[in-house]
Amino acid sequence: MLRPPQEHLPSGSPRPAHYGTIIAGNGLFGTSTALARIGGSGDISQGTGSVLMVFPPAGKRFSSSVGRTRITRGSNEENKSYTEMARSSNAVFRSLETRAGEILRPLPCFTIVPQGSAGEEMIRGNHVGLMDQGLARTHGGAALKDLGFLGEASDWVAFEDQSAATIDPQNYLKRANERLGAAGVHNRSGFVESWRTFPSYVAVNIRNKAGDLETVTAQRLVLATAGETGALLRQSGQQELADSFSVKRVPLYFFDWPKGLKECAIRIVRGDGQGNWYAMQEKDNAGGSFLKMGFHNGGGVLPDAKDVPRKVTNEEIQAAKVAIEAVVGQALTYRTAYVCHYTLTKKHAGALRGLPIVGPIPGTDGRVALVSGGNGNGAKLAPSLGRLASSLFERAPTEDDRPFLPASQLGSPLRLHAGGQRLGVAVQRQGGRSRRPGGRLHSLALHADESLAS
């Protein structure tokens, strides 16, 4: 392991452990950044490539890890840059699948509601990533009709996320951590409480589960701390930046199904690509089912590995129709279960809501970087965002990186050719006018800029 610097240590102090990179957070962002740091290395446990991941003790996990969620292979026709990042992330997902022997297949996914119901109004008013395809235009729509699910076609509205595929993000993290462990990445349970930068390193204070405080040092630090980012920035003297962060919490409402319909209610139906359609139940511990209100991604919950999705029968379909109408057509008793977190900035409003943030922390001479975003950004783009966070330390972004990095690093606008069109990066500055490396942190609004096409 590297010998830690001594010039700022009190006389007689023990030499702290020293690493090449410390990553705070082991969720989708933190794990993906660690994967990018090891690259193709076989053993990075020694030298400048050494990596330490600091993660919360059991029971203190970020709320998106509660239960199981869905990773969406992102696609956005109005945001070509975002789509390219999703495709790049897809390559990492596929690589891990190949290593694990678990091949993921894209599945059509529908949310089907009675036409004119409160459920249709809710989805149209709040959906993100769901498109009203119309029954005649949905992939597999004919198969649904053959099942008799819809009754009269005019009675139902189908919303489909055409880019969706279903995997368990916890499984992604498990496979990624297997690779990190094999490469010699160090792990430590605890909380990063604060940091301080020095000319040649950054000192990081870690509070372990027992409550003891330990200081370790590194060449660089990456904050992938999601909802805790604002508090950590504040504790480390970044008051102005901390004040620009907020966490948006979207509640998941659990409905009490009508008596006798709990076991057959079907809200999400998925096809296996071979003409079979399955009911994907969404249950809490009490056996109820939930409907996500607010930002609606059409997400379902995968069953446990031991549970095989049941093939939809005609009898269940008819019962499900009654249940669906009951849930979305009228107000039923519900309770708040837990929340999804969306890390935003004050500038994230309207069209900029929920976009990811990657950049250097001001005043750290490029030694501390931040990668942050909502649950959906992690699910769609974590590998790409982790690669970008890692590349900030290399000072050598690739041409593929350039459309996605902050203008403070590369200048703005970025007139680069990609995919047959020029891409622009719209930047919302968090105050100030600095565009120097290590200056103000920027949030990204990635889009295809038609004005640059000529």
Q: Render each residue's pLDDT in the chain as its tens digit; 454 residues.
A: 344 455 555 555 567 889 999 999 888 889 999 988 887 544 444 445 688 988 776 543 333 332 233 333 344 444 556 666 766 777 777 777 777 776 543 444 455 566 666 556 655 654 434 444 444 444 444 444 544 444 554 566 665 544 433 345 666 777 888 889 888 899 888 888 888 999 899 999 998 888 899 999 999 999 987 667 777 888 888 887 777 666 554 443 444 444 433 433 444 455 444 545 455 444 433 333 333 332 223 333 333 333 434 454 555 555 555 555 554 444 333 333 333 444 444 443 333 345 667 778 878 888 998 887 766 667 677 888 888 888 877 755 554 454 444 433 332 222 222 222 222 222 222 233 223 233 333 333 322 222 222 1
169 by Cβ neighbours in 10 Å (0-12 / 13-18 / 19+) ranks as buried
DSSP 249-291: EEEEEEE-PPTT-TTT--SEEEE-SSS-EEE-----TTS-EEE
Q: What is the pLDDT of residue 119?
A: 55
| Rounded Cα–Cα distance for residues 45 and 182 (Å) | 10
Question: Please, where in the chain does CATH 3.50.50.60 lie?
Answer: 18-65+170-245+345-452
Helix (H, G, I), strand (E, B) or coil at 222: strand
Q: What is the pLDDT of residue 379?
A: 66
Q: What is the pLDDT of residue 172?
A: 72
Q: Phi first, then psi: give them for residue 325, nearest 5 degrees.
A: -60, -35
| Rounded Cα–Cα distance for residues 17 and 40 (Å) | 25
CA angle 235, 394, 415 (to 5 degrees): 100
| Rounded Cα–Cα distance for residues 347 and 364 (Å) | 23
| Rounded Cα–Cα distance for residues 285 and 338 (Å) | 13
The residues near 166 (Cβ < 8 Å, ≥ 6 apart) are 70, 71, 104, 107, 109, 270, 300, 302
Looking at domain 18-65+170-245+345-452, which of 3.30.450.40, 3.50.50.60, 3.40.50.970, 2.120.10.30 is its CATH number? 3.50.50.60
Using CA atoms, how far residue 112 sits from 69, 138, 155, 158, 282, in Å, is: 19, 11, 10, 5, 15
| Rounded Cα–Cα distance for residues 353 and 217 (Å) | 35
Q: Which amino acid is at 312?
A: V
Of all helices (H) and strands (E), which one includes residue 177?
helix 169-182
User: By C-alpha distance, which of 270, 269, 253, 274 is closest to 320?
Assistant: 269
Q: What is the pLDDT of residue 362?
A: 79
Pairing of strands 268-271, 357-360: unpaired
Q: How far is CA 93 from the centre of its chain?
A: 13
Other CB atoms within 10 A of residue 436 CB:
9
Alpha carbon distance, N-terminus to C-terminus of the chain: 53
Q: What is the pLDDT of residue 169?
A: 63
pTM: predicted TM-score of the whole model, two decimal places = 0.57
The residues near 383 (Cβ < 8 Å, ≥ 6 apart) are 32, 35, 36, 88, 89, 91, 92, 93
Q: What is the pLDDT of residue 441?
A: 33
CA torsion 448-451-452-454 (nearest 10°) is: 120
User: By C-alpha distance, which of 76, 30, 26 is closest to 372?
Assistant: 30
